[in-house]
Structure 1
Amino acid sequence: MYASRSLTLSLGALFACQVAHAQGGQYTLNVVYDESNFFSSFDFFSEADPTHGFVQYVDAQTANSLGLAGISSGGIFIGTDSTTQSPSGGRKSVRVTSQQQFTHGLFIADIAHMPGSICGVWPAFWMVGPDWPNSGEIDIIEGYSTQTTNAITLHTAPGLNINNKGSNPSTSLLGSDCGPNSSNTGCGQKTTDNQNYGDGFNAIGGGVYATEWTSNHIAVWFFPRTNIPADINSGAPNPSGWGTPLAKFTGSNIGGFFKNNQIVFNTALCGDLAGGVWPSDPECSALAPTCEEYVANNPSAFVEAFWIVNSVSVYNQAS
């Protein structure tokens, strides 16, 4: 736990994009987001939560003054208020979005801590394009409340049906239709390793999520902290040597459904997902009649509802 932390938020720093060739020529480094440039490269979202959560996303100045965003132990800290009793309008939290947009690439996120498996939380590390869902959405890490394993999901305009051929055999396909529907569930794959999400992820010091997005597929790997491939650590990633991905999505013209995506980290509270399932969740519903009541009246429950992101490296496929 990062209970004692010194947070600094450098909002004015500018970062010159570093470009280097990956060994073997498969991928070329586009940009690295780390403590030197993250907060000058990501914008703070401070509008009403589009997923109807009991949350107030705050701007950069407010996040900094409240200790909800900054640098902690060399990583990027993205937090949630854990001190305010009965906050009016929702508990304060942070949602940040990359200024740069991407179409295809290899996205390598080194994450030391994510929000824990806490009733009412809905954390996500994801990518999304403009004019949702027409430019696509890739949910790399997502879950809610006491969930213990990750769900990886795509959302698109109507017309994309996927399969999970090439996924880890233990990963199950939750749905093949990625288009919008009444519940906006998308096409997801449910994993089974409790080290890849929430409390289990934090217990091992996190690890690396690597996402390969090409015109033919979207594939996601997870590597625990002690098992990160040497080629990732050396800055020369080679997905062909990583073995079977945690989840792989393929489908006819999958590449045509995704473009101009931005990287997002956020921690929502309650809302359409965590709040919507509250009545049917025996563990969480035993704590309070509604998600909103629990989140409002139990600030200390959210001490572990934070991200520590060491870096996000983005590579382009070499021509």
Structure 2
Amino acid sequence: MSLKRSIATLPLLWLCATAIPAGSGWWPNGTSSDIVGGDFNTAAYGLIDTYDGTNWLNMFDVQAITDPTHGFVEYVNVQQAQQLGLLRAQGSQVYMGVDTTSVLNPNGPGRKSVRIQSKRAYNQALVIADFAHVPGSNCGSWPAFWMVGPNWPNQGEIDIYEGVHLNTYNQATLHTSPGCVPSVGPGGETGRRVANADCGTGGGFNGCGVESNNPTSYGTAFNANGGGVYAALWTNSGIKIWYFASRDVPANIRNGNPDPSLWGTPAANFGPGCDYGTKFRDLNIVFDITFCGDWAGGTWGQTSCAQVNPSCNAYVASQPQSFADSYWMINSVKVYSV
């Protein structure tokens, strides 16, 4: 979710969406994180890490930082997040949300929210996220689940789940230094390519994206469809992303023995044309919910949301109740070796 530009056509929402995801990796106090991958002597798709309600705060850093994408958001620290009820474990699940009660100054710091980044970084992996609930499709909102390297864009970024406003179609996007021009990989993809061929266009800010063709792959429609699973397979030969509604999740995912060869055509299949071993390195997992900013704010005037309020910031500031469903409820995130 770093600065990216994509073009998407969505009925009734916008004619031309400029997507600029959520900022290059953040390394507290100049430190680096544990790095996993590459030399694991485990069977194919051996489990490396499980993130859930039993260990979430031990595995992630809560980042009280200025939003790199200039959103109308105030990312709070871990103590504030817990005191405000924005971050908590519910059994084995994890809740992460935003302030839904405060009427704000549109020229102020923004709506309180949570942004987290994994302490551990990975080099090629299968990442499977099981969501009971994702942030709803709301005017002004911009949630994302993604991975990013510390030296952005030279170490890459993989946006697995992302969208803005009233959208219900997910967009997966890669950001790199110039010279990564992935064709559609063997077996094809069900989504459609948007924006740039080179994932490094504009110094990495623009990215190369694939918009899902599934109208329940994002936001409110995803939740109404019973939640589901996103899986990203990142190898030396490419990056593939699948979405499964909860009722359609393959049994081999549910039983902890994932086998992507049996999952069918992915939504996004970034294949030949990029040196994935060089362009994507030491990636951390990130979750956030921001508002307005470079993408959601930049496309505000082209959406039906602008009919309610001509200013994205003013709308988000004055409508806290609109974000009652702007939260993640995460069953787990599992990372497997490849």
TM-score relative to the length of structure 2: 0.84
Corresponding position of 1:301: 322
Corresponding position of 1:35: 53
Write the distance in 1 (CA, Å) between the matches of 2:187 and 2:129. Answer: 20
Task: Check conservation: 1:80, 1:305, Cα contact below 8 A.
Answer: yes
Corresponding position of 1:262: 284
Corresponding position of 1:159: 179
Q: CA 1:280–1:183 in 2, change beyond 3 Å: closer, same or farther? A: farther
Task: Check conservation: 1:167, 1:246, Cα contact below 8 A.
Answer: no
Write the distance in 2 (CA, Å) between the matches of 1:215 and 1:72. Answer: 37
Corresponding position of 1:240: 261
Task: Check conservation: 1:166, 1:244, Cα contact below 8 A.
Answer: no
- What CA RMSD, in Å, does the superposition of the two structures yield over aligned residues? 1.8
Write the distance in 2 (CA, Å) between the matches of 1:42 and 1:185. Answer: 27
Write the distance in 1 (CA, Å) between the matches of 2:280 and 2:264. Answer: 25
SS in 2 for 1:135: coil
2:235 pairs with 201, 210, 214, which one?
214
Corresponding position of 2:302: 280
SS in 2 for 1:140: strand
How many residues in Structure 1 have an aligned counterpart in Structure 2?
296
- 1:244-286: CA deviations, max 9, x gaps? 11111012323210000000010010000000111121x1101
Partner letter of residue 224 of structure 1?
A
Corresponding position of 1:109: 129
2:202 pairs with 181, 188, 209, which one?
181
User: Which runs of no fewer than 5 residues in structure 1 stay unpaired?
Assistant: 1-16
Write the distance in 2 (CA, Å) between the matches of 1:296 and 1:255. Answer: 43
Write the distance in 1 (CA, Å) between the matches of 2:311 and 2:121. Answer: 37
1:98 pairs with 100, 107, 118, which one?
118
Corresponding position of 1:199: 220
2:92 pairs with 63, 67, 74, which one?
74
Which deviates more from structure 2 when the two are superposed, residues 183-192 or residues 106-115? 183-192
Establish whether residue 126 from structure 1 lines up as the match of residue 139 from structure 2: no
- 1:181-233: CA deviations, max 9, x gaps? 18922000011212211011101221111110000000011111011111111
- 1:120-173: CA deviations, max 9, x gaps? 000000000002111100000000011110000000011111122447654111
SS in 2 for 1:294: helix
Q: CA 1:253–1:168 in 2, change beyond 3 Å: closer, same or farther? A: closer
Establish whether residue 136 from structure 1 lines up as the match of residue 160 from structure 2: no
The alpha-carbon deviation at position 28 of structure 1 amounts to 1.0
Which deviates more from structure 2 when the two are superposed, residues 72-81 or residues 42-51? 72-81
Write the distance in 2 (CA, Å) between the matches of 1:104 and 1:67. Answer: 34
Task: Check conservation: 1:167, 1:247, Cα contact below 8 A.
Answer: no
TM-score relative to the length of structure 1: 0.89
Corresponding position of 2:9: none
SS in 2 for 1:259: coil
Corresponding position of 1:9: none
The alpha-carbon deviation at position 301 of structure 1 amounts to 0.4
Partner letter of residue 259 of structure 2?
N
Corresponding position of 1:227: 248
Write the distance in 2 (CA, Å) between the matches of 1:80 and 1:183. Answer: 29
Corresponding position of 2:10: none
Task: Check conservation: 1:115, 1:198, Cα contact below 8 A.
Answer: yes
Identical-residue share of aligned pairs (%): 44
Establish whether residue 253 from structure 1 lines up as the match of residue 275 from structure 2: yes
Write the distance in 1 (CA, Å) between the matches of 2:274 and 2:81. Answer: 43
Partner letter of residue 55 of structure 1?
V
SS in 2 for 1:80: coil
Task: Check conservation: 2:177, 2:203, Cα contact below 8 A.
Answer: no
Write the distance in 2 (CA, Å) between the matches of 1:124 and 1:31. Answer: 21
SS in 1 for 2:123: coil
Establish whether residue 148 from structure 1 lines up as the match of residue 162 from structure 2: no
SS in 2 for 1:100: strand
Partner letter of residue 266 of structure 1?
D
Write the distance in 2 (CA, Å) between the matches of 1:238 and 1:167. Answer: 15
